[in-house]
Amino acid sequence: MPGERIYEDLTLVRRRARAAFWTVAALIVLVLAYYWKVQVFDNAKFARMAEANRTRIRTLAAPRGLVLDRNREILADNRASFKVSLVREHVGDMDAMFASVSRLLGLDEATLRERVELHKDLPLFEPIVVADGLDADAVAPIESRRLEHPELVVESEPQRHYPKGRRAAHVLGYLQERTAEELRAGGAKRMRAGEMVGRAGVERQYDDILRGQDGSVVEVVDSLGRVQYEQAHEFPAQGAEVVLTLDDRLQELAEAALEGREGVVVALAPDSGEVLALASSPTFDPNRFITRFTPAEWRDLINDPLSPLENRAIRGLYAPGSIFKLVMSLGGLAEGSITPATTVYCSGATRIYGALRHCWFEPGHGAMDLSDAIKNSCNIYFYKLGQSMDIDTIAGAARRLGLGRATGIDLAGEKDGLVPDRAWKKAALGEPWFPGETISVAIGQGQLQVTPVQVAALTAAIARRGRPGPAPHLFRSSPKVDAPTGPEAPDGPAAAAAAEPLLPASAFESVIAGMWRSANDGGTGQGARVEGFDVCGKTGSTQVMSRESAAKLAQSGREVKTHSWFSGFAPRERPRLVVTVLVEYGGGGGATAAPVAGRIFARFRELEPR
């Protein structure tokens, strides 16, 4: 009909419109919430990111503290140098970059790739040190090509320097770059890629004192990474100096005496424990570690059969040989197996437990009391003493005199050595102890193992007549330490036993009398004699092969040599210096080691204030 209205049901349309409205409204709310989060909640975060697009923080490496000897002679300092770092965020074609940069730096491309690969987990903007220890002439070509290589950053930095070269290398130790694992595990502790840290010796032991506080520069840069101006500057603070107990003059002599040989010289003050010289040969130049090794160079060094990185003074394990007769003497006196007047007749050989045992002096020494036996290092006397003593008693005396455990010297990696007894053999080998083994131990052979610094500490204990004393140490003073003292003796029952004198001073006097005669009355240690200085000492020669093997070598005309020992102190009353010498394959202790010790004693006497 005309004029009739037609109605349409719009319910569905309205429902869909409302759904669309609320969907759009929800989306708008989410967008507004996101923008609120970005603008308000994450404001600081994005501000930092924006700032980073135009600023760069450059670390200023702090110089390490100086290392000085007791007379303030510089043993380790710093010198100016340059380093080149690579910033990967400025690199387009990595392969092309490696090829061109390796040519520019004079590095093997594989070595360059390996250095970058070590730190692949670092952020791309973090610089990776690829070359250091450079002088101005070496960095000039790099600076002149800065536009071609925006990924390279040249910076000056203090570089560790050892002005004495190889001198005291095993004491000072060396530095190496932090590893990627250390950087990842650093946590809250501030670490940076390319940072050099102590890895051995004093550099490692006192790294926290020697390492300074890095500074920083905030630079404003353009889109190509070119510096426009500095926004802030925080200067680095140099590490504190460390003064050592070493006397560089004695150290120089000790190392010269070992030139061309494998061995150790340790000199220390018996009452204070201060180490005046510690030489291990062969040695190395710690300056080589400042610039990064190639993998081939590092492999050559660690695979060197002479092991120049090994500090033989604290890590070399040797049979003590006749040096151990001092322990046997004190142990026998303590147990009552002998007195100073006990006499044994030496005919050059004796049969014990069915085996023929020989003295080093084939004709024999004749009748020997304790003083004579120490003077002449008579094997027969100590074979008989070993026959009368139990191995556990011998081991107890050795441990109370400091053997079988680390001395506590302030150098990482010191070994304990070994003093065998019944319990040790049963646990280690599952076998019982046999009496014949005690006879070998009685003259310092068998399973006995000591380090040269342990022998020096043993000699110092004898020089003090058994009085407790401080552990050997190299640290003397530093501004960062309020009360500079040497390290305490190791904790535990063994240390408590060591604090108790083994015997009255009179018993030590009986042993010292033999040591004095060894150096001053025609004994085996007369090579160490210094006129007017009353040197007391004991020599030792240790087998490094079986008697049968030695006989075969001798029959073939080849020279058979043993390790050569000497350990002693001077003067006899109020001792001021202990010297221990080990020369590997040096032959008789009296012929090789004792004269080296004599030179150290003589030089000390010249230097000592009158």
> Per-residue pLDDT tens for 201-229?
999 999 999 998 888 777 776 655 566 66
Q: Which two tokens stand for residue 547?
A: 């008697």
Within 13 Å of residue 535, how many CA atoms lie on the same side as its CB?
Answer: 33
**Contact between residue 377 and residue 360 where contact means Cβ atoms under 8 Å apart:** yes
Could you give the percent of the chain with pLDDT greater than 70?
Answer: 85
- Of 134 and 517, more confident: 517
SS3 label, residue 411: coil
Q: pLDDT grade, residue 88 (50/70/90)?
A: confident
pLDDT at 493 over 50: no
What is residue 43's predicted lDDT score, i.e. its pLDDT?
Answer: 75
- Of 301 and 331, more confident: 331
Nearest C-alpha neighbor of 74 from the set 160, 198, 199 = 160
**Contact between residue 522 and residue 532 where contact means Cβ atoms under 8 Å apart:** no
Q: Could you give the C-alpha distances from 247 to 162, 311, 604, in angstroms and in order? A: 16, 19, 10
Average pLDDT of the residues of the chain? 85
Burial bucket for residue 606 (CB in 10 Å: 0-12, 13-18, 19+): exposed
pLDDT, tens digit (0-9, with 9 covering 90-100), for 239-291: 999 999 999 999 999 999 999 999 999 999 999 999 999 999 999 999 988 87
Q: pLDDT grade, residue 506 (50/70/90)?
A: confident
Q: How far apart are CA 248 and CA 70, in angstroms?
A: 8
pLDDT at 570 over 70: yes
Phi, psi of 570, rounded to the nearest 5 degrees: -160, 150
Q: 580-583 long-range CB contacts below 8 Å, 24 or more apart?
A: 580/264, 580/265, 580/266, 580/267, 580/452, 580/453, 580/455, 580/456, 580/459, 581/257, 581/263, 581/264, 581/265, 582/263, 582/264, 582/312, 582/316, 582/318, 582/452, 582/455, 583/258, 583/261, 583/262, 583/263
Top CATH class, 55-244: alpha beta
Amino acid residing at 35: Y
What is residue 548's predicted lDDT score, i.e. its pLDDT?
Answer: 53
pLDDT, tens digit (0-9, with 9 covering 90-100), for 455-477: 999 999 999 999 889 999 999 99
What is residue 194's predicted lDDT score, i.e. its pLDDT?
Answer: 66
pLDDT at 608 over 80: yes
DSSP H or E stretch at residue 540: strand 536-542
**Contact between residue 364 and residue 373 where contact means Cβ atoms under 8 Å apart:** no
DSSP H or E stretch at residue 564: strand 563-570
The mean per-residue pLDDT over the stretch 98-119 comes to: 80
The mean per-residue pLDDT over the stretch 369-383 comes to: 96
DSSP of 493-530: HHHHHHTS-SS-HHHHHHHHHHHHHHHHSSSTTGGG--
Q: pLDDT grade, residue 54 (50/70/90)?
A: low
Q: pLDDT grade, residue 303 (50/70/90)?
A: confident
Q: How far apart are CA 281 and CA 596, in angstroms?
A: 14
The pTM assigned to this predicted structure is 0.81
What is residue 267's predicted lDDT score, i.e. its pLDDT?
Answer: 98
**CATH 3.90.1310.10 domain range(s) in the chain:** 55-244
Nearest 10 degrees: CA dihedral of 128, 130, 136, 139? Answer: -90
pLDDT at 490 over 60: no
**Do β-strands 67-68 and 242-244 pair in parallel, antiparallel, or remain unpaired?**
parallel
**Contact between residue 263 and residue 577 where contact means Cβ atoms under 8 Å apart:** no
Nearest C-alpha neighbor of 566 from the set 608, 603, 526 = 526
- Of 4 and 354, more confident: 354
Q: How far apart are CA 268 and CA 476, in angstroms?
A: 13
What is residue 44's predicted lDDT score, i.e. its pLDDT?
Answer: 73
- How big is the CA angle at 61 (ends 59 and 66), to the nearest 5 degrees? 165
The mean per-residue pLDDT over the stretch 72-97 comes to: 85
Top CATH class, 248-283+312-607: alpha beta
**CATH 3.40.710.10 domain range(s) in the chain:** 248-283+312-607
What is residue 295's predicted lDDT score, i.e. its pLDDT?
Answer: 67
The mean per-residue pLDDT over the stretch 118-140 comes to: 77
Amino acid residing at 95: D
Q: pLDDT grade, residue 404 (50/70/90)?
A: very high
Q: How far apart are CA 260 and CA 281, in angstroms?
A: 8
**Contact between residue 447 and residue 318 where contact means Cβ atoms under 8 Å apart:** no
What is residue 225's predicted lDDT score, i.e. its pLDDT?
Answer: 58
Q: Which two tokens stand for residue 134?
A: 């450079």
Q: How far apart are CA 276 and CA 194, in angstroms?
A: 34
The mean per-residue pLDDT over the stretch 315-327 comes to: 96
pLDDT, tens digit (0-9, with 9 covering 90-100), for 436-458: 999 999 999 999 999 999 999 99
Q: Which two tokens stand for residue 520?
A: 């001053």
What is residue 577's predicted lDDT score, i.e. its pLDDT?
Answer: 97
- Span of 322-326, 369-373, 483-487, 533-537 with lowest mean pLDDT: 483-487
Q: Could you give the C-alpha distances from 10 to 3, 14, 18, 24, in angstroms and in order? A: 21, 6, 12, 21
Q: Which two tokens stand for residue 83?
A: 């380093």
